[in-house]
């Protein structure tokens, strides 16, 4: 480990950044240095400008470029203590938030049935049944499966928060079958199959591959990724009025975004009959009802 890398890791640790952010920033700084074949402390605003143009030419998403820029901002300002202005490290303007892709029940069923790999099928069932993120699935442990209370405990999720999600009997049986088939157990629900990562869990890339392969086999043309199944989980739990379901759907923000974009064309705007899901979405969009003043 170089002294520069050590200093960067120490500064990230001092500020209690998450491991995901640490890894993302380190990778971004490394790629920046590799692009110019020079140490990053020997590069400056001109190279940063050239590198940002290079990222745009690669047709990367503006959010991805923002992450790279944020990593460079941290490195030059917090590690090297250089006084670079916001004009030297501009953040690209983001596109308007778009409505996320949500699968239909038939499409999800086709994905599950098209998957012949036991582990891949279990991964997909866990994602769509619980609505957890792929990073949360990767760090799932057997002891997080509470069969007595029928919940799955998610430790250190986004923002370092713990939470619990419902566990269906069908998913419980699928998880049991998958875990019994594991030959080498290392304490993770989905252990890595790579020899050099024998003590580590499955990678997020492996989860992404399982999702894309199932999409291809099912003949689905939508751009499906693991987070798409999280959107489906929110749409599936919307009709139920449990606090956990409402909280999870509201956290995902699928229907709030939908109503904001399509407010003029919504059923309640046209005076049409409302389903339970649309009523709940309407209540979130309009806010809490105000009680009329008493006379």
pLDDT digits (tens, 9 = 90+) for 165-193: 999 999 999 999 999 998 888 899 999 98
Best CA proximity match to 25, nearest among 39, 34, 12:
12
Sequence-ordered strand ranges (E) for 91-188? 145-146, 151-154, 163-166
- Regarding whether 211 and 147 lie in a shared domain, the answer is yes
- Report how far residue 163's alpha carbon sits from residue 165's, in angstroms, rounded to the nearest whole number: 7
214-258 confidence digits (pLDDT tens):
999 999 998 888 888 887 776 665 544 444 444 444 454 444 443
Nearest to 30 by CA among 8, 60, 12, 46: 8
How many CB atoms are located within 10 Å of the residue 121 CB? 20
234 and 259: one domain? Answer: no
Residue 99 lies in a domain: no
CA 4, CA 26: separation in Å to the nearest integer?
A: 11
Q: Which residue has the higher pLDDT, 258 or 196?
A: 196
Does residue 89 lie within any of the structural domains?
no
CATH code, domain carrying 37: 1.10.150.130
- Strand, helix or coil at 148? coil
Domains held by the chain: number: 3
Instruction: Tell me the residue length of the chain.
Output: 295
Q: Do both 228 and 266 map to the same domain?
A: no
Whether residues 195 and 270 fall in one domain: no
Q: What CATH number does residue 153 fall under? A: 1.10.443.10
**258 vs 128: which has the higher pLDDT:** 128
For residue 117, the 8-state DSSP code is -
Domain extent at residue 24 = 3-79
Within 10 A of 53 (CB to CB), how many other CB atoms are there? Answer: 10
Residue 110 is encoded by which pair of tokens? 């086709």
Report helix angle 105-114 to 118-130, nearest 10. Answer: 160
- Tell whether 258 is covered by a domain: yes
């Amino acid at each position: 480990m170089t002294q520069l890398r050590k200093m960067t890791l120490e500064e990230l640790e001092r500020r209690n950044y998450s491991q995901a952010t640490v890894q993302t920033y380190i990778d971004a700084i490394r790629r920046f240095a590799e692009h110019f074949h020079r140490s990053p402390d020997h590069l400056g605003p001109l190279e940063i400008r050239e590198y940002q143009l290079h990222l745009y030419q690669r047709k990367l998403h503006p959010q991805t470029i923002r992450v790279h820029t944020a990593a460079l901002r941290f490195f030059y300002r917090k590690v090297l203590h250089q006084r670079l202005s916001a004009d030297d490290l501009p953040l690209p303007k983001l596109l308007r938030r778009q409505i996320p892709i949500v699968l239909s029940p038939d499409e999800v069923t086709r994905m599950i049935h098209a998957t012949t790999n036991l582990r891949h099928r279990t991964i997909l069932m866990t994602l769509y049944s619980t609505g957890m993120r792929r990073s949360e699935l990767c760090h799932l442990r057997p002891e997080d499966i509470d069969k007595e209370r029928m919940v799955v405990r998610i430790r250190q999720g986004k923002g370092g928060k713990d939470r619990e999600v419902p566990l269906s009997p069908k998913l419980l049986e699928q998880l049991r079958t998958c875990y019994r088939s594991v030959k080498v157990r290392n304490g993770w629900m989905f252990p890595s199959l790579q020899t050099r990562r024998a003590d580590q869990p499955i990678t997020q890339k492996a989860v992404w591959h399982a999702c894309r392969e199932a999409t291809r086999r099912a003949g689905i043309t939508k751009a499906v990724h693991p987070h798409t199944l999280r959107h489906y989980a929110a749409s599936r739990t919307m009709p139920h009025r449990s606090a956990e379901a409402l909280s999870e759907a509201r956290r995902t923000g699928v229907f709030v975004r939908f109503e904001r974009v399509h407010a003029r064309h919504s059923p309640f705007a046209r005076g049409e009959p409302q389903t339970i899901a649309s009523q709940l979405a309407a209540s979130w969009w309009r806010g809490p009802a105000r009680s009329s003043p008493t006379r």
